[in-house]
Structures are given as C-alpha cells and as structure tokens.
Structure 1
Amino acid sequence: MAEVFQFELVSPERLLLSEEVTQVVVPGTEGEFGVLKNHSPFMSTIKPGILKVHKADGSVTEFFVRGGFADVAVGGLTVLAEQAVPVSDLKPEVLAQQIKDAQEDVSDAKDPEAKRKAQETLAQLLEVEQALKAA
C-alpha cells in the first residue's frame, strides 16, 4: 500500500480539500507531474487542466484547476489554484462560457504578448473540454 502524505487544495474562495492522500497528479505548465510521499521539494506553476487526487481508500477525486502554483515541501503538497472546481460539479455551460470569454480575450488583445497568452488559455480550455468529453 502506498504511503500517505498531507495535501491541500486552496482557491481564493476557500479550502477545497485538506487530507492525507497517496498521490496527486498535477497539470504543471512544463508537463503533468505526480507527487507521492517524500517527493523532492520544488515549486511549479500550473495550467488549466484536471488535477487528480488519489485517496487512501483507492478512490480518485478530480478537480478542474485554472492556473496557480503547486508547492511540494517536506510536509506534503499544497496547490494554490486561481480557480478550482470538482469535476463532478463542473457544468458544461460554465466551461462553454469560459471558452467564449477566452475567445473574446483573443479578439480583444491589444498587443502580441496579450494575444499569445489569451490563445494559450483558450487552447488549454479546449483541451480540458475534450478531456471531460473523453472521461
């Protein structure tokens, strides 16, 4: 059996999860990464995607996260997400609105850097939409 470690998922609105888990898979901006007990400490930014929490009872809980930071420390993992919603609570119309907003951000971008960032966010949201459809 895998060893447990402390995990906390925090959004600006509230603490979504604080418990001992066996593994967390995080959508890092440099690629998806998994964290187990005694992982080497590091920090990473996260991109919009699905964060998977493997619990001690064998169940997996998924959250849609939209940006933020992951901090792997000796005491465990803390994810500070710009937005985090349980996938089970995610409504297709909410994601569709976020995609529409991102498309508008691309159209309204005033400079090349803003346009690039908006296009990146839109692409990531479309990937999440596809991942949710496949799940």
Structure 2
Amino acid sequence: MALTLDIVTPERRVLSVTVDEVRAPGVLGGFGIRLNHEPFMTALEPGRLTYLEGGREHHYAVGGGFLQVADNKVIVLADTAEAAADIDVARARKTFEEAQDRLLALTEQDEGYGAESARVKRAAARLRVAGS
C-alpha cells in the first residue's frame, strides 16, 4: 500500500506522485500525513508544502486552498502551486514588493484589502520556498 499525492490548481494538475509523507501549511498550523492517516479535510494557508519520496524532500509553494486525506490519498486543491526549483526569485521578490506597497496604501476597511493581503502572503510563501 502507498500514499499518493495529487496537487491540482484551477489551471492544471501540477503533480501526481507516490510519497512517504506530506507536510502542509494548515490554517490552524502545519501538519503531516503518513500512510493510513485518518480521513480529514482542511483549509491551507499560503506556504510551503513538502513531500518526502524515497528519503528526499521536495518543496512546493502553495497559495492557499484545501487538502483532503482519505484512503491513503492526499488531494491538494490549491489556488496556486509551484515547485521550488521553478520559482523565479527576482519576479517573486518584485511581486512581493509591489503587493506590499499596494497593501500599505490600504486600510482594513478598503474593498481590496483582503485580495491584496492574500497576494502578499502568496508572494512571501514563494520567496520562502525558493530560499530567499
């Protein structure tokens, strides 16, 4: 028996792989999943999703979404997902700085505050996963 991981965004299936363990950024804190984990579903924060395969760690930046575990299958429905190696650090840094500047110009009562705050969190997650 094996643990499978599928990462899906609105645009495409990003990954489908057999893994030993999955670690994810839940809205209530990080958590891990191994073989025969109890079924559950949770919301994800923008952050680092890590999976272990054959003793090696692989990292993805996820921009929030949901994760479901059932029958040794982990399904991540992410707003965005990008492998660490695929992240353009210069672009991620620029996106973060621009989103942060826009957010600083808003108050929590402004209509676009929530969306801009989410952009900052996603960009920060990409930078953390890329190692910058």
Per the normalisation by structure 1, the TM-score is 0.79
Higher strand content, 1 or 2? 2
- Hey, what does 2:95 align to over in structure 1? 98
Equivalent residues of 2:92, 2:127 under 8 A apart: yes
1:52 partner letter = T
Segments of 4+ moved more than 2 angstroms: 105-110, 112-134
2:8 partner letter = V
Which residue, out of 37, 40, 59, partners 1:39? 37
Find the aligned partners of 2:5 and 2:42 in 1 and give their Cα distance. 15
Equivalent residues of 2:25, 2:48 under 8 A apart: yes
Find the aligned partners of 1:71 and 1:114 in 2 and give their Cα distance. 30
2:89 partner letter = P
Distance 1:61 1:23, change over 3 A: same
- Counterparts in 2 of 1:53-72, with a 5 A limit? 53-55=51-53, 57-72=54-69
- Hey, what does 1:77 align to over in structure 2? 74
Which residue, out of 25, 28, 39, partners 1:27? 25
Distance 1:45 1:106, change over 3 A: farther
RMSD: 2.7
Shift of 1:75: 4.1
Q: Percent same amino acid at aligned positions? A: 27
Per the normalisation by structure 2, the TM-score is 0.81
Shift of 1:37: 1.0
Equivalent residues of 1:109, 1:118 under 8 A apart: no
Extract unaligned runs of 5+ from structure 1: none
1:39 partner letter = H
Shift of 1:7: 1.1
Equivalent residues of 1:48, 1:121 under 8 A apart: no
Find the aligned partners of 1:130 and 1:6 in 2 and give their Cα distance. 25
Please, which moves more after superposition, 78-87 or 123-132?
A: 123-132
